[in-house]
A and B are shown apart, each in its own frame.
Chain A
């Protein structure tokens, strides 16, 4: 693993019931980069993400995150490993029975010995970062879609993880909220040195924040490069993403 590579995936192959979902996937993610995994529906983006998170067992190939081979991750080291990952799920995945404040505080209460006063201040600060300071005592069911996402982001970054995964963070957000969310993610990257891996289809968002594009097509990485080279790519399907996404005609 190179010094500045925080993620390295080599020859990852995945099949579900003899259906090959990922044929041979290899890529790396550098520390401090915002990497966007892009691809059509059913291309295997979510499968890659779930393998990176260790939610699916690695059957063939190597997935290495933060100098840890996922396949050899022992149960006793699982907690330390997961504490370094922040995951921002598409639908928020907040616990409905807890208030937003309690949801965000949960990892701190469970995994640290910080005094309750400090935990509350941390939660309020993180909620303030995502412009949700007034939602401390609200339940997830009382939040709008955009607020839910911001609350989920506050929970994902509560432990200042070096690696943040975002699954479709922009889905269902208005353009203004989406731009604000992108700005926040960039701020976290710049000031905390977080590495961000994002699955998204929002072209406006990609143009704003992506350093690197991984384009998944038919179970392989069809394109792996910087945003500017992706925009110049001659790969027809990738070209379509950018032209249709920015309001142009497919061609």
Chain B
């Protein structure tokens, strides 16, 4: 007597204990096939089935892998499964698209939390801290040595860098410092007026701009403007093998690319800082005139009494330290780039974030030292 066909899905039907796969099995219906077979296995746990492929009309790689993965699903529901009746073409495809064992994913036990934490700490220490200090020592060594040794430096490169890092930043730095000086004085004026201490607006503006705000505004703007450019330039050079090319031409990439930038920023940043401070003080003077009736004449007459040599020096020392931080951070993240175009973007972002963070940390340390 002919057994009755029991249709359980559009992809297969059951004939006794044989699952007959029918029609094509390909990238378009493999997901549905897997879904239906899993539902069928779930409702028949612990059984044994044979899969007949005689009615399978077409099979592609997705279908072949879906058929292979049935074994795993069946095991999950404690079902034994055999495949049969495959044509030579189907057998060849099943052989060609046999899933591979996942070799790369570790199946071992998870390491304890503190082990992972320590591992990460050592990785960060090696990858960032140690490499950073190596780079700093290399840069400082070559910066000092190359003052007296003009070999391996491109003629005019130092001047180019000075113009690009310092001179070109002047308009933005001066205008930002002017606005910040003006706002600083403006916000303080109402408080000072309450105490009748209007004249101290001069002390406040001058000390704040010279020792603190001038260097800080300059450094933050230069880090955003030139720090990112340094990181992007070096990262792109590394990705496009330009750094390797320099090395194989017998040139030290550090001396060739980074040292001129160090010189350029060391020379221009102090000047830029002084100009930013002057611009900020001018902004403060305008606010003092508009809101506290302190004429520019009174303002500038009071200035020598408020301004100490120490504050000017503090500002200059800060600017030199900030210049070194910006260039070294940019170079560090530039040299660290690893993966193509996206890596360049990531390095650039990291360099700006790190440079601004380090500048603010250095500012507070120097602020405490010169307090």
Contacts and interface: CB of A to CB of B under 8 A. Distances in A.
Interface of A: 96-97, 108, 112-115, 117-118, 121-122, 124-129, 133-134, 136-137, 139-142, 158-160, 187, 191-192
Interface residues of chain B: helix, strand, loop or mixed (majority)? helix
6 contacts: A96-B339, A112-B28, A112-B62, A115-B34, A139-B339, A160-B61
Contact of B60 (A121, A133, A141, A160): A160
B154 to A, nearest CB: 29
Given A117-B69, A118-B66, A124 B93 contact: no
A118 B340 contact: no
B338 interface: yes
B98 interface: yes
A113 B31 contact: yes
Instruction: Identify the 9 closest CB pairs spanning chains A and B, nearest first.
Output: A96-B340, A97-B342, A128-B100, A160-B60, A121-B99, A139-B339, A141-B339, A113-B31, A124-B100
B124 interface: no
A112 B341 CA distance: 28
B65 A122 contact: yes
Given A112-B27, A124-B99, A125-B98, A141 B65 contact: no
User: Most chain-A Cβ atoms within 10 A of its Cβ — which of B28, B31, B62?
Assistant: B62
User: Most chain-B Cβ atoms within 10 A of its Cβ — which of A122, A126, A134?
Assistant: A122
Given A125-B99, A126-B61, A133-B100, A115 B31 contact: yes
B99 A141 contact: no
Contact of A134 (B62, B69, B104, B343): B104
B96 interface: yes
A129 B60 CA distance: 14
B145 interface: no
A127 B99 CA distance: 10
Interface in B100-149: 100, 102-104
Contact of B31 (A114, A128, A140): A114
B30 A97 contact: no
Given A96-B339, A134-B104, A136-B104, 18 more contacts: A96-B341, A108-B27, A112-B27, A112-B62, A117-B69, A118-B34, A121-B69, A124-B99, A124-B102, A125-B100, A129-B96, A137-B104, A140-B339, A141-B239, A141-B339, A160-B60, A160-B61, A160-B62
